[in-house]
Amino acid sequence: MSQHYRVAISGDFRKPDGTPTFVDFDLGPLRKAKGVDMAFLDNANPLRADQLEEFDALILLAHRFAPESVPKSGRLAVIARFGVGYDTVDVPACTANDIALVITPDGVRRPVAVSILTFILALTGKMMVKDRLARMGAPGFAARGEHMGVGLVGKTLGSLGVGNIGAEMFRLARPFDMKYIAHDPYADPRTAAELGIELVGLEDLFARSDLLAVNCPLTPQTHHIVNAERLALMKPTAYIINTARGPIIDQKALTRVLQERKIAGAGLDVFEQEPTDPDDPLFKLDNVIVAPHALCWTDQCFAGNGAADVKAVLEVQKGQVPRGVVNRDVLERDGFKKKLEGFAKRFG
C-alpha cells in the first residue's frame, strides 16, 4: 500500500483540454496537504472499479458511483460528493463496503435558498413577460397593465421539506412578511417553531400554499410525490418551484396543469430528463421559468462546495469523522472504523 493518502478527483472536474471545469474549486489545500497525493480519473460514467483500486478518497462531481464502481481492494474510505444531491451514488453499496458518503450542505445552503427566492420574485413580478414587453416598444408598454404582478405580504410560503435549504429559504424570506407552512415528517419541531413555520399535512401544504418550494431529497418515497392529484389541490393563483431534483415532480402532470392554467406558474431548475429535450411542451409555455440545473451556480457556491469536500477528505485522512455523512450506519461498521484507525496512526 502506498505510504501516501491518495485522493481521486472525478474526471468531469476537468475539460477535455485539461483546464478546470470550475475555476472556483480550489484544489490548492489538497495539493499542499502533507502526505497526500491526488489524481484526476478518466471520464468514465459510471466510474469503473479499476480506476479506484489505489485510492483512499474520491471527490465526485456528476459521474455515477454504482455497485460495479466499488474497488475490490477495499481501500476506498470516503466519497465526497460535490453538492447535496446523491441520487447518482449507490448508498447501500457504499455502506456495505465501508465507504462513507459525504455531501456539502454548507456550500449550497445559501446559494440554493437564494435561487428559490429568485424564482419567487421573478414569477410573482412577471419578470419574463415584462422583459418581453419592454423589448416590443410602444405596443409592449401599452400592454403592461394586463400583466400585473403579485405582492407577497400575507401570502403563504410552503415548503416540501424543512432541511438545511428549506430552513435557509424561510430565514431569507422574513422581510417579505409571508406566512410559513411546511410538510416534513423528519422536521425538528423546535427549528420549525423558531422560524415561525406551521408544520402541516401533505395535502394541506398543497392546498394552502401560494408559493410552494420543493426542498426534499429524491428518494423512492419522494419520487413523483408531486403528482396530478396533489397538483389539483393547489390554488389557481399558486406557483410551484423546484430546485431539488426533477423526478420529485411528475413533469407530465405539471405540464398539463400549467397548460390548462390550473396553477399560475412554475420555476424549475431541475427536470425529469437532464439534459432537457428542446421540444418538450413545457418549454412552449409562458407561465414557467426554467434554468439548466445551475441557478445556484455562483463563484461562492462552488468555492464553498470545493472547500467542504477538501475538508472532508482531509478529516478522514486524520482518522476523523467528517461532517455531512449521509450513510450514518457506516460509522458503526468495524471495517470503516478500522480504516479510520489506520489513517489516524499513519497521518493523525
Residues annotated as catalytic are 245, 274, 293
Pairing of strands 179-183, 265-268: unpaired
d(CA 89, CA 275): 19
Of 115, 26, 119, the residue nearest 298 (C-alpha): 115
Cell of 218: 429524491
Rounded to 5°, the CA angle 335-307-79 comes to 25
User: SS3 of 4, please?
Assistant: coil
Instruction: Return the axis-axis angle of helices 105-124 and 127-135, rounded to nearest 10°.
Output: 60
Cell of 283: 418549454
Residue 2: what residue type?
Answer: S
Residue 33: what residue type?
Answer: A
Residue 177: what residue type?
Answer: D
User: SS3 of 60, please?
Assistant: strand
The β-bridge partners of 39 are 8
Element (H, E) at 198: strand 197-199
User: SS3 of 7, please?
Assistant: strand
Cell of 163: 432541511
Give the other-Cβ count within 10 Å of 42's Cβ. Answer: 9
d(CA 167, CA 50): 41
DSSP helix, strand, coil percent of the chain (3-state; round to 5):
40, 15, 45
